[in-house]
Structure 1
Amino acid sequence: MSLNFGKVAVLLGGNSAEREVSLRSGRAVLNSLLAQGIDAIALDPKHDNISQLKTMGFDRAFIALHGRGGEDGCIQGFLTTLQIPFTGSDVLSSAIAMDKSKTKQIWQSYQLPTASYQIIIKDDFDPRQSEDILNALSGTVMVKPVNEGSSIGMAKVSNAVELADALFNAFKFDNKVLLESWIVGKEYTVSILNGQALPAIRMQTDNTFYDYQAKYNSTETQYFCPCGLAPEKLAELNELAIKAFDAIGCRGWGRIDFMLDEEGRWSLLEVNTVPGMTETSLVPKAAKHAGYDFNQLVLEILKQSLS
């Protein structure tokens, strides 16, 4: 196995707001590769000189970097320039997927369902606009930094004062913020592996929404897999997940998040091209129900770098 893969760099950590989650993902991946006899070494771009990857003899890279610098096309472009194969999506699809506004625009061009939204630019925002913005988006909105993940900087708001406060907080993470009409319903996620949809998961939390605390720190968050959908509704979800993934040009593996409203209508939320691989992450949960243990999942993802 080690002869097939050669020397593998597990890229983890980095400088994004998701650094701590990335460290956990990367360590889990590294331990799995080592347990399977693969010559793998962890490298953290925040501390290690990754410009020497080629001269250090690395044959391929497993990208476990979340957020900016790792999920936005930057590391993918760097590795492409070095001619080092890597896991996951390419430069362009990674960059598009990281930008929630561009992702939604492409989905709309494919006539795929997504919630109503507005993009707010930091330098153009006037707090006096808050009431009009809310009215245009049905009165309650989700505030999302355009280029962040793991629910960082997100908030649910339902009045002008809350909106202005949430926007100023979100601007700490990004100069562009997505405002999305609030959807009352249930949240689902579909993991993609090698062009196939893994078993869907429904997430349930007592928090206002499935936020950072619910994802990584809570012991109360519930995950339902099987997700409880009727067969025809599940088939609809899986088909939509594949279409959404392909529309952005993603490859290899990833995850698509959805809301199902009270009228039974799907709305696409976002695509993750380097999903979490921690002990509480969604892709390993879905893969387990598809018959992959964690080691098998890691190996399947790494195999993508051979093609």
Structure 2
Amino acid sequence: MKIAVLYGGTSGEREVSLSTGKGIIKALKNKGHEVIAIDFSPEKIKDILELKVDLVFLGLHGRFGEDGKIQGLLDMLNLPYVGSGVLSSALAMDKAKSKQIFSLNGLQTANSKTFDVTGLLNMSDIVEDIKKHFPTPFVIKPNQEGSTLGLTIVKNEGQIEKAVQTAAHSDSTILVEDYVQGREVTVPVIGQKGKETPLPVIEIIPKNDYYDFDSKYKPGGSEHIVPAKLPDNLTDRLKQEAVKAHQLLGCEVYSRVDFIINEKGEPVILEVNTLPGMTPTSLFPDSAKEIGWSYDDLIEKFVELSQLDK
């Protein structure tokens, strides 16, 4: 097939996307496809308008890649692509909206509240509201951002204002939520719509205090235990809830669903990643490897599924 790979982008996750893109491009070539590589930015829309390919493989992360905007453009151009469509991409990117959907459908989420921080004109009111509703420790992060960019774990009230400003650099809406202490796990999901399968559960043991940007992407930044050493009933529940979350948002082809196992041994869902990282240190390929799929095989499976779903 003739496949265009869009990668790079302009979000805070650009460096990760460059690495993801290189991996995808190499895998597709290894599988015999003709590849057109595009380091994408909104200024390069002309490149997309002129594309003549069988499929577009999205190696983008974050804004203008994972949020449904590029998917909408590709839909208008009638260009098939790998992964979720406009609505599911936008919902997954909007942490507050997706949490509402999960909570209404029986999935446990952390208590949270959103704040409009446009222009930070009402900073003192925001700080006081946060103090009123959230005992420390708690988390402040952008409502729409990935890879823990802009995230602060607030351990004392003196950190609140700076944490709000940090999150506001990435989004006009911030999310404040209870900090859930526990084990970090993630479940990759793959499959045709309605027939999705969970891959082995991964436990993530970060070298830093939590699974931050460096832990995710720097070699040796975290340890991935695959499969996670968990009781069978908890493993089954995580897999079922991951598939349920994927389906609730209407995701397609693949996603990765992140959880914290709290101190009561219950899974608390954090988010669904519709375009999870596919770098050499990424989680999804590690899980696939556990069931005998090489990186190249995994990328080819995404291509095959996309032809079925689109």
The TM-score normalised by the length of structure 2 is: 0.93
> Identity of paired residues, percent?
37
Q: Please tell me whether residue 293 in structure 1 is matched to residue 294 in structure 2.
A: yes
Q: 1:236-275, CA deviations, whole angstroms, 9 ceiling, x for partnerless residues?
A: 1101111111111111101000000111111100110000
Q: Which residue of 2 aligns with 1:38?
A: 33
Asked whether the 8 Å contact 1:167–1:177 carries over to 2, the reply is yes
Mean alpha-carbon deviation: is it higher for 61-70 or for 105-114? 105-114
- Of the structure 1 ranges 263-272 and 213-222, higher mean CA displacement relative to structure 2 is found in 213-222
Task: Describe how 1:1-307 pairs up with structure 2 within 5 A.
Answer: 6-46=1-41, 49-53=44-48, 55-123=50-118, 125-127=122-124, 129-130=126-127, 132-194=129-191, 195-307=196-308
- 3-state SS of paired residue (1:44): strand
Q: CA deviation at 1:277?
A: 0.5
- Range moving further from structure 2, 246-255 or 45-54: 45-54
Q: Deviations over 1:272-305 (max 9, x none)?
A: 0000000000000011012210010000111122
Question: For residues 138 and 47 of structure 1, do their structure 2 counterparts lie closer, same or farther at Cα, with a shift above 3 Å needed?
Answer: closer
CA 1:56–1:79 in 2, change beyond 3 Å: closer, same or farther? closer
Q: Is the 8 A contact 2:136 2:157 kept in 1?
A: no
Q: Distance in 2 between matches of 1:228 and 1:280?
A: 20
Distance 1:122 1:54 in 2: 35
3-state SS, counterpart of residue 259 of structure 1: strand
Q: Is the 8 Å Cα contact of residues 134 and 160 (structure 1) preserved in structure 2?
A: yes
> 1:218 offset after TM fit, Å?
4.7
Q: Is the 8 A contact 2:102 2:245 kept in 1?
A: yes
With over 3 angstroms needed to count, the CA separation of the structure-2 counterparts of 1:108 and 1:47, relative to structure 1, is closer
Report which stretch shifted further, 105-114 or 129-138. 129-138
CA distance in structure 2 between the aligned counterparts of 1:231 and 1:122, rounded to whole angstroms: 43
The number of residues matched between the two structures is: 302
Rounded Cα–Cα distance in structure 2 between residues aligned with 1:208 and 1:130: 24
SS in 1 for 2:3: strand
Aligned counterparts of 1:229 and 1:217: Cα–Cα separation in 2:
26
Question: Which residue does 1:3 correspond to in 2?
Answer: none
Distance 1:171 1:223 in 2: 31
Supply the distance in 2 between the matched residues of 1:249 and 1:47 (Cα, whole angstroms).
Answer: 26
The alignment's C-alpha RMSD in Å is: 1.6
Residue type at the aligned position of 1:277: M
Q: How far 1:130 moved relative to its partner? A: 2.8
Measured in 1, the distance between the counterparts of 2:160 and 2:62 equals 24
Q: Is the 8 A contact 1:156 1:208 kept in 2?
A: no
> In the superposition, relative to structure 1, how do residues 9 and 128 fare at CA in structure 2: closer, same or farther (>3 Å)?
same
1:125, distance to aligned residue in structure 2 (A): 4.2
Indicate if the aligned counterparts of 1:18 and 1:150 stay in contact, CA closer than 8 A.
Answer: yes
Q: Provide the rounded CA distance (Å) in 2 between the counterparts of 1:297 and 1:193.
A: 10
The answer as to whether partners of 2:108 and 2:268 remain within 8 angstroms in 1 is yes
Q: Indicate how the Cα distance of structure 1 residues 155 and 34 shifts in structure 2: closer, same or farther if over 3 A, else same.
A: same
What is the deviation of 1:206? 3.2
Letter matched to residue 24 of structure 1: S
Unmatched tracts of structure 2, length 5 or more: none
SS in 1 for 2:113: strand
